[in-house]
Structure 1
Amino acid sequence: MKLELSYDEVSTIAAALLAKAMTAERNALKCAKLDGMDKDVKFWQERAETYKKVYKVIEAQFGQACKECEQADAEVKEE
């Protein structure tokens, strides 16, 4: 299934992923300060990494889509 998103939707998703990653990192730091919270630290660190990975994929695909649109616009202008 191919998902079609607008520029605003992609921007919102990217911002939300970044916010989630930052929150997960903060939670990991909070847990690290408390004794006996090693499992929680690991959990939040893994969450942060997952959000970052997805954010990078979204940004890369969005960047590629923008390049393709720019190329298509340039081709239309040449005609």
Structure 2
Amino acid sequence: MTLQQVLGAIEEFGNNNVLITLTDDRTIRGILQNAYAGHQQDPRGYTEPYFFVVRIDLTDNPTEKYNCEEILSIVQIN
């Protein structure tokens, strides 16, 4: 997905639970957080557009970073 698509999903789904399908055939459940454009000179390695998700399918609900291009789909779940 593009950064704009992820930003649209964040706006559409807000703080609701979503199911994210990744390009490596994994699915994760979580709550979408902020998404950002990458910067080629970022010393942390954030060179591609990325977003954060609070994982609700793992203990302690960690916040994880994913690149936007890793996403195939985002759908809301109950």
Instruction: State the TM-score bracket (shorter-chain normalisation).
Output: under 0.3
* Higher strand proportion (structure 1 or 2): 2
Structure number with greater Rg is: 1
Normalised TM-score (structure 2)? 0.27
Q: Higher relative contact order at CA 8 Å, sep ≥6: structure 1 or structure 2?
A: 2
